[in-house]
Amino acid sequence: MILCLIFAGKAFCQDTFEKDIANKVDSLLAADKTDIMLGHFFPNDAIHTITIPSGWGGYGTYIFGSVGGVYPQVYHTNTDLIASGGFCVGNPVKDVNFAAGLNLADVHKFQDFSVNLIVSRVVAAGSSISAGGLQLFAGRKSDAPNPTFYFAFSHAVQTLPSATNGSSKLTYTIGIGSGRFYFKNPDDVKAGRGKYGTAVFGGVSYEIIQHVNLIGEWSGMNLGVSAGIRPFKNPLSIGLGYTNITRYSADKSNIVFTFGYPLSLMRPGN
């Protein structure tokens, strides 16, 4: 996605950020689906997750692209960037939606590639699940050589209508995963912050004004707050956040940002 693209030392600092941002495809594609099931509310049109996967995926056939960054990297002082692009296809109400994305972790040298594969399905009024693998098929010299697998459930609360027609103001997500959700990076271990995270992650997104969400998330490793913004009528989505607030992991807090754009090629009929 997401969204999110999207998604530890030069080796693991980028690893942590990369996995936070590269999954932003799901949140990015979750917007603009208010006609899926007439009469039910779905997430509004702004990003609703930044550092965790969403249970919502795409709807129809899209291509997408995104860029994300973090400053400063944990245990380092420089800025890190990642780019991602891909496609999704399928009707998540009648069948499933499948999304595939290619991540570029070393933007400056145009190297260090990996793949995201995500399947999602709407399971009830305002509810969706997704499962997938992140940072798959990375090279042995990659900053993120180990894949992450996850399952997530998201729900758009039906009693809080958004200013955007057919949407909900409040969306929450809960999930569980391996990899980045469970294993801390070597710098955390050396700093005495333990080896394991919680494996469980979750987040809440609330619309404070139309097209702007306030987001709180637990990534399995740390706490973050952010804003998801859709500033124009086109589907450009922006995320801006402050992550690693606690000292459960990482040596400092940092600023994270994402820019994403999904382009609809085909939408299935209801």
pLDDT in tens, 58-102: 888 999 999 999 999 999 988 888 899 999 999 999 999 999 999
Domains of the chain: total: 1
Of how many residues is the chain composed? 270
- pLDDT bucket at 34, cuts 50 / 70 / 90: very low
Residue 139 lies in a domain: yes
Residue 1 lies in a domain: no
Domain extent for 200: 9-266
- Summarize pLDDT for 229-241 with one digit per residue, the tens: 999 988 899 999 9
pLDDT of residue 40: 87
Residue 4 lies in a domain: no
> For residue 108, is it within any domain?
yes
Q: Is residue 2 included in any domain, yes or no?
A: no
pTM: 0.84
Q: Share the mean pLDDT of the chain.
A: 85
Residue 227 within any structural domain of the chain = yes
Six-digit token string for 41:
């509310």
Confidence of residue 105 (pLDDT cuts 50, 70, 90): confident
- Report if residue 3 sits inside a domain: no
Quick check: is 84 in a domain?
yes
CA distance 220 to 223: 8
CA distances from 127 to 69, 77, 94, 111, 120 (A): 30, 40, 14, 37, 11
CATH number (domain holding residue 108): 2.40.160.40
Evaluate if residue 9 carries a pLDDT over 80: no
